[in-house]
Amino acid sequence: MERRWVATIDLKTLEVKHDPSFKFKCLENCGKCCYELEIPIRDEDIGKIEELGYNAWEFVDYNKMFYRGDKFLSYALKKRPFDGGCVFLDPEAKRCRIYGHRPLACRLYPFVFIKKGAEMEVYVKEDPFCPGLNHPEGEPVTKEFLLREYGDVIEDYRKKVVNHSE
C-alpha cells in the first residue's frame, strides 16, 4: 500500500500543517472501497452495530483476522458471497445501510492516523480504485476538514496526550 503524508495535527494546540496539493471528496454512491477492502471491525464497532438489531454472526467474518506482529487486533467485516461487497452495502444504491454506525475503519478510509508523541500524522492510502483522491471538487485536509470529519477521533487522542503530560 502506497501512502502519502497529507497533514500533521498538534494534539495540544490543534494546529494543522497540511499538503495543499492534495484534495479529497468521497463520492456518493461509489462504494468501491466496500468491494475492494477487507475492513477490520473492533469490539466497539460490533457493539454499535448490534444495537441496531443485527447479530454479530451476520456481519463479523470470524475466519479473517487482523494482526500487528503476533498481537491479534480484530476480525473482519463480512463480504457477500455473490459479489464480494460488504454485507451492509446496498447493491443497487451503492450506499451503506448503517452509515451512521459504520466501523471506524470505514469512517477513516482512505486516511490513516498515526500518533507520534503529541502529534498525529495523517496519511492517505493511494488506492488506485478510489476516485475521490485528488478529485477536482475535493477539499484539502485542513484543520476545518479534520475537525468536521474526525473531531471525535482527534479528541480521543488529545485526551490521552493531555493526561500523559500532567
Q: Cell for 106?
A: 470505514
- The pLDDT, as a whole number, for residue 13 is 93
45 shares its domain with 78:
yes
| Host domain of residue 40 | 35-99
User: Under 8 Å CB-to-CB from 162, ≥6 apart: which residues?
Assistant: 12
**DSSP secondary-structure letter at 24?**
B
Give the rounded percent of residues in the chain with a pLDDT score beyond 70: 96
Boundary (domain end) residue, out of 77, 99, 121? 99
Show which of 99, 122, 146 is a domain's final residue.
Answer: 99
Q: Which residue has better confidence, 135 or 166? A: 135
d(CA 70, CA 34): 27
CA–CA distance from 149 to each of 25, 83, 84, 85, 124 (Å)? 12, 30, 27, 24, 14
Q: Is the domain of 62 the same as that of 11?
A: no
Q: Apex CA 106: angle with CA 160 and CA 65, to 5°?
A: 85
Over residues 5-25, mean pLDDT: 96
Closest by CA position to 61, among listed 75, 73, 44: 75
Tallying the residues shown for the chain, one arrives at 166
Answer whether residue 93 is part of any domain.
yes
**Is residue 1 very low, low, confident or very high in pLDDT (cuts 50, 70, 90)?**
low
Say yes or no: 51 and 83 in one domain: yes
One domain, residues 42 and 95: yes
Q: How many domains does the chain have?
A: 2
The single-letter DSSP state of residue 116 is E
- 51 within a domain of the structure (yes/no): yes
Residue 104 lies in a domain: no
Q: Give the per-residue pLDDT at 55.
A: 97
Confidence of residue 164 (pLDDT cuts 50, 70, 90): low
Name residues whose C-beta falls within 8 Å of residue 130's C-beta, 6 or more positions apart in sequence. 32, 33, 110
154 in Cβ contact with 8 (< 8 Å) = no
pLDDT in tens, 39-78: 999 999 999 999 999 999 999 999 999 999 999 999 999 9
Q: What is the pLDDT of residues 78-126, one digit of tens each?
A: 999 999 999 999 988 889 999 999 999 999 999 999 999 999 999 999 9
Query: What pLDDT, on a 0 to 100 scale, did the predictor assign at position 94?
Result: 85
Q: Confirm whether 30 is domain-assigned.
A: no
- Answer whether 0.85 is exceeded by the pTM: yes
